[in-house]
Structure 1
Amino acid sequence: MIFGIVPLAQAARNAGHEVFMAAPENMMATITGAGIPGVPVSDVPMMDHLVDRRGIRVPIPEDLHERYIFNGRTFGRYAAACLDGLLSLVADWRPDVVVGGALAFAAPLIAGHLGVPYVKQAIDMGEPRTIDLAAAAELGPELERLGMYEMPRTDLFIDICPPSLRPSDALPAQMMRYVPFATQMPVEPWMYTKGDRPRVLVSAGSRVTPESDFDILSGLVDKVGKLDVELLIATPEAVAEKLRPLPDHVRAGWIPLHLVAPTCDLVVHHAGGNTTMGYLSYGVPQVLVPYLPYCVDYSTRLSAYGAATMIDPADDSAENIARVCAEMLATPSYRERAAELAAEVSALPTSADAVRAIERLAAAA
């Protein structure tokens, strides 16, 4: 979620506005590394909210609808944990507008408490609305505490989904071009050049650690590694170290997406929102394995458009993934359709245009 909203925050600062980004303590290095002042509002990481308010671990449901409710309540508890820190911040520093990512449910609470406009920014191609309802239910005590009886409405919705992939019932929105952001590293020639073999990148997202989701990444690597390709594994360095030793045709580590994407022929990943949007914006065909249920909806839309293939996690055998990768690499239509979507993304209004829409909203308020 941090990576998804950084470009808008940077554009607001570049326009001369005072911008603070509030988040848990463990996100401060990422935020300040992007040149944005960060305010720690909780010392509890997001993943620690998989327990309920009594401290009891909540089992992860198998049913898709129940999983949406589980996700919404988890993000609701996350918002509740950030509330005191946010209230302390705005007691001394009053914003004119509050902007939050689609799953940052503390943002509308603070906006409603202050009586200022609330701007919601999409961080991928759309979250199931059941998640919003479940988060609101979880936040009942906080709403009562603030004298509210429903979640404050969105005053401006900023969407980044390419128009061809927007659901028919999507909310009216200020559209904005998606700009990939990631923690940077020194540029090396292999990042922007490639050899004779197809270049395939595998990722399980930026939150993978040696203790969390490592099996998802290592499983994808094992399955794709059977192909005759140049293989890049995008992952934090601590995770890359656990994967080593690796063959000569495989590189692993923190790989800036925007540097390698133009050279990739295919990307295989977990269907996370920022990973999906990032490679979509560069016109790279994708193999999507949505291990998280909320990713299924937009993965289905992208696959139906012809720019990707979605594989059910229950069918993610090495043979199946290798077969799909080989078929997509040999079929030009996937790259053609992906290029069409990339052109749509590049034609959308910039983050500076979105900032001007926020300025108009603030002026009207």
Structure 2
Amino acid sequence: MRVLIATFAEKTHFLGMAPLGWALRNEGHEVLVASQPELTPVIAATGLTAAPVGRDHLLPQVAAWARRLGQGGEPAFDLLAREPERLTWEHLQRGYREALLPLWWKVINESMMTELTEFCRWWRPHLVIWEPLTYAAPVAARACGAAHGRLLFGLDLAARLRGHYLRLMAGRTGGDRTDAMASWLGSRAARHGGLFSESLTRGDFTLDYMPDSLRLDTAPGVRRLPMRFVPYNGRAVVPDWLRVPPDRPRVCLSLGSTATDRLGGYVAPVSEVMEALADLPVEIVATLPPGRHTGVGTAPDNVKVVGYTPLHVLAPTCAAVINHGGSGTICSTLLYGVPQLVLPHHMFDEPLLADLLVKQGAGLAVPAGERDTPERTRAALQRMLAEPSFSREAARLSGEMRAMPGPNELVPELERLAARAA
């Protein structure tokens, strides 16, 4: 079976897909990874074969322009909105038309849409696995007759939004029923003789590594296949210092790489967070990219500033992890039953994922509106280390994650799905 993994060029999103690629290769299937040229070295470093298509997207530049235009105000459209008074037809329609499509989804897809379709028609994959915002992939899969499905990188916000939109549209008896998403994907499918259907927005199936306790309700029409999370953050080496057991509770401070790679900054001032924790009887391990070491000043005595360290090796040695709420970091930590203090970024699903973690009792969160003083972070960490319930609930969720089928166990089902579409 020929399997194409397709993603727009975003390192953290792709790395979460690599373990499934390995599982498919180990079962003897041919696997290629298609993305914009920027991601080629990252793909090749995983041992999978890259197929560069199209041109690099300009999302960082567009996002910077949008931030300057908004001058730091509210985002043009908030995918996290749940209040009924905000989820109106007019609001959602405007969100698709003026924000999600022109400022995000078209930006990351249009530069690869045609070339990806041409590649699929040449290679003829039997199955296409796509990152859930890479809508060029289902269009390409449809053009070559392949089965296709999404592999989520976090909470399924796009499908939830689509479900709200379709429900509101079905209830309208007159007026404007324009569907910008359907118009966009339908026009792209039509170039190759295809028609729009909702499978272009949600796949024939959806692979989801979130445990039941942390995921959203499955959106209407989505066929969910749970798959155990396998932590992978790229090539790494275990540092010597990590082999020495700490003489105090170890706390990892990891505020994400995408924030620095794409947005130029962290969710909270690292130096202020470290200073607030300076006199606690703990060992703080702050993982910072090399270019960020000099920006934090002199670290307190109880802080070890290190470069990239594989979280799946570091987390099991920790009593707690302070992070930005990214799904990969949350799941990598939770897999080892370690409680988390989340300072959520607001790039995608981080605030909502933090809320779900707190409701399960496996951690605490200090939202952006409450981070006026670092002492709030200090108090939250002290509470989490003092109350054993946080470790107990984190261990419960770890057990839930480990009971999910691994990527290799999903391969036979993927084979059946591909055969059904042949």
Q: Same fold (TM over 0.5)?
A: yes
Give distance in 2, aligned partners of 1:230 and 1:118: 46
Establish whether residue 98 from structure 1 lines up as the match of residue 152 from structure 2.
Answer: no
Q: Secondary structure at the match of 1:187?
A: coil
- Matched position secondary structure for 2:292: helix
Please give the alpha-carbon distance, in whole angstroms, between the structure 1 residues aligned to 2:115 and 2:67.
Answer: 24
1:50 is aligned to 63
Structure 1 residues 207-216 or 152-161, which shifts more?
Answer: 207-216
1:83 counterpart = 2:99: no
Among 206, 224, 243, which residue is 1:173 paired with? Answer: 224
Residue identity opposite 1:115 in structure 2: G
Instruction: After TM superposition, give the deviation of residue 138 of structure 1 in Å.
Output: 5.6
Please tell me the residue identity of whatever aligns with 1:146. Answer: A
Question: Residue 241 of structure 2 aligns with which residue?
Answer: 190
Aligned to 1:114: 144
Stretches of structure 2 that go unaligned for 5 or more consecutive residues are: 1-12, 80-94, 166-178
How far does residue 51 in structure 1 lie from its aligned partner after superposition? 7.7
Instruction: State the one-letter code of the partner of 1:50.
Output: A
Q: What is the count of residue pairs matched by the alignment?
A: 361
TM superposition shift of 1:49: 4.2
Which moved further from structure 2: 268-277 or 205-214?
A: 205-214
What TM-score do you get using the length of structure 2 for normalisation? 0.77
Q: 1:303 aligns with which of 327, 352, 358?
A: 358
- After superposition, the Cα gap between the structure-2 partners of 1:290 and 1:65, relative to the gap in structure 1 and judged at 3 Å, is farther
Secondary structure at the aligned position of 2:341 is classed as strand
Give distance in 2, aligned partners of 1:49 and 1:355: 38
How much has 1:273 moved relative to structure 2? 1.4
The residue that corresponds to 2:399 in the other structure is 343
1:274, distance to aligned residue in structure 2 (A):
0.8
- TM-align CA RMSD: 2.8
Aligned residue for 2:308? 254
Distance 1:10 1:260, change over 3 A: same
* Distance in 2 (alpha carbons) for counterparts of 1:352 and 1:25: 28
Mean alpha-carbon deviation: is it higher for 321-330 or for 293-302? Answer: 293-302
CA–CA distance in structure 1, aligned partners of residues 326 and 410 of structure 2: 24
- 1:158 alignment counterpart: 207
Following TM superposition, where does structure 1 have runs of at least 4 consecutive aligned residues deviating by more than 6 angstroms? 55-58
Helix, strand or coil for the counterpart of 1:302? helix
1:16 equivalent to 2:28? Answer yes
Shifted more, 118-127 versus 205-214: the winner is 205-214
Measure the CA separation in 2 of the matches of 1:57 and 1:108.
33
The 8 Å contact of residues 200 and 264 in structure 1, kept in 2 or not, is answered as: yes
Q: Which amino acid aligns with 1:149?
A: F
Larger Rg computed on CA atoms: 2
Q: Secondary structure at the match of 2:44?
A: helix
SS in 2 for 1:146: helix
Cα distance in 2 for partners of 1:86, 1:74 equals: 18
Decide whether the 8 Å contact of 1:286 with 1:308 is kept in 2. yes
1:308 touches 1:334 (CA, 8 Å); kept in 2?
A: yes
Deviations 1:220-239 (A, max 9, x none): 44214422221222233223
Superposed CA deviations along residues 36-93 of structure 1, whole A, max 9, x for unmatched, are 11122232354234389xx997648855782324456513321122213312322321
Q: Distance in 1 between the 2:234 and 2:322 partners? A: 21
Whole-angstrom CA distance in 2 between matches of 1:211 and 1:296: 19
Aligned-pair identity in percent equals 28
- Of 386, 395, 399 in structure 2, the residue corresponding to residue 330 of structure 1 is 386
- Shift of residue 192, structure 1, vs aligned partner: 4.0
- The 1:358/1:242 distance shift into structure 2, 3 A limit, reads same
1:264 aligns with 2:264: no
- Residue pairs, 1:168-247, within 5 angstroms: 168-169=217-218, 171-209=222-260, 212-216=263-267, 219-227=269-277, 228=280, 229-243=282-296, 245-247=298-300
